[in-house]
Amino acid sequence: METNVIENLKLSSPAFSAGDTIPEKFTCDGEDVNPPLEIGDFPEGTQSLVLHVNDPDAPSGNWTHWLVYDMPLLHTIEENSTPGTVGMNDFGEAKYGGPCPPIGTHRYFFRLYALDTRLSLPPASTRDDVLAQMENHIIGTGELMGLFSHHT
């Protein structure tokens, strides 16, 4: 993917602040629904948004929890919503799968990408397919990181 992307999108959540613990409601210990997100500062020329939620601390490597593409330019992603076309997560489902680390505290990155095109991929496309289609179309990014420790 491009290396000269501008990190200019604002991405935040009324449910947790950057670097804080993600509330249990949005994890496998709770209702396992997506948290609400707020978005701002779309670059000129933005045609669609992609949201990728991943855990780089997973034992198997970079674990995708949620992948949404061809989102319109929204300022709010509501809690427990489907804001665009949903891709396949690493749980093998085309839906949000909340934080559920097997051990320790993991970091969860909510990464938002502004694209100068729509991807027009079928539902349940894979992370690799989405990332390949995004290449050379990213005109802005934003990021929100939260933490979670699974209580057994």
Class of domain 1-47+66-106+135-151: alpha beta
Report the phi/psi class of residue 80: left, alpha or beta, with left for phi > 0 and alpha for psi in -120 to 50: left
Question: Residue 55 belongs to what H/E stretch?
Answer: strand 48-55
Per-position pLDDT tens, the chain of length 152? 444 556 699 999 999 999 999 999 999 999 999 999 999 999 999 999 999 999 999 999 999 999 999 999 999 999 999 999 999 999 999 999 999 999 999 999 999 999 999 999 999 999 999 999 999 999 999 999 999 997 65
Torsion over CA of 87, 39, 117 and 146, rounded to 10 degrees?
-40
For the CA atoms of the chain, what is the radius of gyration? 14
Tokens standing for residue 90: 């690493």
pTM for this structure?
Answer: 0.94
